Structure 1
Amino acid sequence: MKQRKKVLITGAAGFLGSHLCDRFIKEDFHVIAMDNLITGRLKNIEHLFPLENFEFYNHDVSKFIHIPGELDYIMHFASPASPIDYLKIPIQTLKVGSLGIHNCLGLAKAKNATLMIASTSEVYGDPEVHPQTEEYWGNVNPIGPRGVYDEAKRFQEAMTMAYHTFHDVDTRIVRIFNTYGPRMRLNDGRVLPAFIGQALRGEDLTVFGDGSQTRSFCYVDDLVEGIYRLLNKKDYHQPVNIGNPDEISIGDFAEEIIKLTGTTQKVIYKDLPVNDPKQRQPDITKAIDLLGWTPKVDRASGLKITYDYFKSLSKDELEKTDHYNFDNFIIK
């Protein structure tokens, strides 16, 4: 009987990590899931617990990692990924992007495993180039409120490339743009779940700034497909953007959510947080040419699935909000 390949997925109980667990189980891997549950939820992966090719480690990757036996792949997806999270736990955010990646790279070197890191469009900061290509170096404020996340991801990329060039570790870097779908947390501060959560609770939708800033939303199944293809792309170690280039203003997006949810609430406007990017749109030329990948799920279809998921949540889950006070970070 052929032995299953083994993959370690850090941040496995989070939104993206849990969907990656599903995909690798579907591909008949032995999945080793790791999460310290600081932002992840066991509910996202509990359906996998009965499987003999799935195991879970409640562990912080910022500490030494020991995985017995052979290991083929490491997917380092552990990190707070929303403003609410990384503004509340800035030190942990920096640690998982520095100590965490160091531990994962050391493990990859020891096991001769391929390692992929989840980088982000936030490495581009508030971009002066539009759309953003992988060659753009970014416009990031290292000491601003978002710096703990942006710089953690930029350091993560640098460390990964250093291990590749100096130790010949087989690495991949995926730069992820705004992604949405089931298992997002309503209370994580990101624009899509924030809007849907407000609509479901009968609250006005809050737009920061004048609504002209843009985002490009990619459905999670499309993202996972792009990630899987990049992992299997041999001999390519440079960053690759994975995201949906269908750009929309936040103001127009709020109107889409109002139409989708049938809410009668209005849109209210508040000051824009410091260093909030004005534009976000991926150039996916590399993903198309290298991977033959383009997103397939249009925003209307993806939003319907996501909205149905949020509607299925219990009242307790719906009311469990964690609104973050941005007042200290607002340009007055």
Structure 2
Amino acid sequence: MRILVTGCAGFIGYHVCERLLADDQDVVGLDNLSTGQPGNAHDLSGQARFTFLQHDIVQPLPAVGRVDRVYNLACPASPVDFGPRRLDILAVCSLGVWNLLDFCREQGARLLHASTSEVYGDPQEHPQRESYWGHVNPIGPRACYDEGKRFAEALITHYARQHGVAARIARVFNTYGPRMRADDGRALPNFISQALHGQPITVHGDGSQTRSFCYVSDLVDGLIRMCESDVAEPVNLGNPEEVSILEVAQEVRRLTDSRSPIVHLAPLPDDPHVRRPDITRARQRLGWEPKVPRAEGLRQTVDWFRSTLTP
């Protein structure tokens, strides 16, 4: 198959491209490099079956030739981007997704859209099932991302009903692994960078808030299974093993042999208190569940950061 991957130079986008190329697919990668890493695009471009185009999907798509699948991973997703890139996020979740839907309609291609667990907001249901409508502040500091992704799901669903486009929606929970941005503002890369540099490890609030961390290779396998499935409803993709943020900070400190103290900062506004996916639908409909233990995934992630971070 010939596959278009938007957001190919981002963390997850890179790993999707890498897996598709390993599966002998031809891949066209699009990224505007606003938050994607030029090094990721460069590394992918060294492979014969990969073509890179620098492009913003908010603009009409360039001529890329015939494709069979579109994986949409184009959207700034880090908390540090929710302020300076708030309007860019809303644009890519609306105009950008609409452009991809038009493209898929013209091409007869199938769309795999990477949505997010943030559509559940600060959930009042735990764990979160796909049937849960969420608890989101529509005007809060995270709203550009949370509501942007919710709108994208509505747009995809109704466009598919009206025009018959084949579309799949994966709700991606916290994902980690090599090639995360060191400055991405999320807990794990912050903790690892701080620990390796001997800086205080900063935890917002008391650290009792929970997350469920899925290693990136497991997530990519789920995305590919989702794209090739007949499941039209959204599907949670994440690791149901829940852990507190404070525990993760302690695990990172042990893995890095760091003497960095753990210090507590003010809680972040609208930061979800709990996050854990119910993956019953993924298990039953996709035959998918994560396999990489957190200890092993964290070790590989720390090793990668150690090899790339400058003192």
TM-score, length of structure 1 as denominator length: 0.92
Q: Distance in 2 between matches of 1:213 and 1:250?
A: 6
**Counterpart in the other structure of 1:98:** 94
Q: Distance in 2 between matches of 1:201 and 1:68?
A: 43
Quote the offset at 1:50 in angstroms.
Answer: 3.1
Q: Distance in 2 between matches of 1:252 and 1:68?
A: 46
**Counterpart in the other structure of 2:166:** 170
SS in 1 for 2:82: helix
Mapping for residues 116-155 of structure 1, pairs under 5 Å: 116-155=112-151
Q: Unpaired runs of 5+ in structure 1?
A: 319-332
Q: Distance in 1 between matches of 2:64 and 2:271?
A: 42
Mapping for residues 76-115 of structure 1, pairs under 5 Å: 76-115=72-111
Match of 2:308 among 294, 305, 313: 313
Judge which range, 120-129 or 204-213, deviates more. Answer: 204-213
**Counterpart in the other structure of 1:39:** 35
**Counterpart in the other structure of 1:242:** 237
Q: Distance in 2 between matches of 1:198 and 1:164?
A: 45
Q: Distance in 2 between matches of 1:217 and 1:48?
A: 26
TM-aligned CA distance change 1:314 to 1:268, over 3 Å:
closer
SS in 1 for 2:27: strand
1:11 aligns with 2:7: yes
The size of the alignment, in residue pairs, is: 311
SS in 1 for 2:243: strand
**Counterpart in the other structure of 2:263:** 268
Quote the offset at 1:47 in angstroms.
Answer: 2.5
- Kept in 1: contact 2:7–2:30 (CA 8 A): yes
Q: Distance in 1 between matches of 2:178 and 2:161?
A: 37
1:250-308 superposed Cα distances (whole Å, 9 cap, x missing partner): 11111111111111111111111111000000000000000111111000000000000
Q: Distance in 2 between matches of 1:142 and 1:9?
A: 29
1:205 aligns with 2:204: no
**Counterpart in the other structure of 1:304:** 299
1:228-265 superposed Cα distances (whole Å, 9 cap, x missing partner): 1111102x211000000110011111111111111111
**Counterpart in the other structure of 1:232:** 228
Q: Distance in 2 between matches of 1:278 and 1:50?
A: 42
Quote the offset at 1:314 in angstroms.
Answer: 4.3
Q: Distance in 2 between matches of 1:210 and 1:199?
A: 19
Quote the offset at 1:52 in angstroms.
Answer: 2.9
1:199-255 superposed Cα distances (whole Å, 9 cap, x missing partner): 011111111011110000000000000111111102x21100000011001111111
Q: Distance in 1 between matches of 2:3 and 2:38?
A: 19
1:59 aligns with 2:55: yes
Judge which range, 257-266 or 181-190, deviates more. Answer: 257-266
- Structure 2 counterpart of 1:33, one-letter code: G
SS in 2 for 1:211: coil
1:156 aligns with 2:156: no
Taking only aligned residues, the RMSD between alpha carbons, in angstroms, comes to 1.0
Percent of aligned pairs sharing the same letter = 49
Quote the offset at 1:6 in angstroms.
Answer: 1.1
- Kept in 1: contact 2:41–2:52 (CA 8 A): no
Quote the offset at 1:68 in angstroms.
Answer: 3.9
- Kept in 1: contact 2:28–2:64 (CA 8 A): no
**Counterpart in the other structure of 1:280:** 275
1:30-66 superposed Cα distances (whole Å, 9 cap, x missing partner): 1000000000012113233233321011000000113
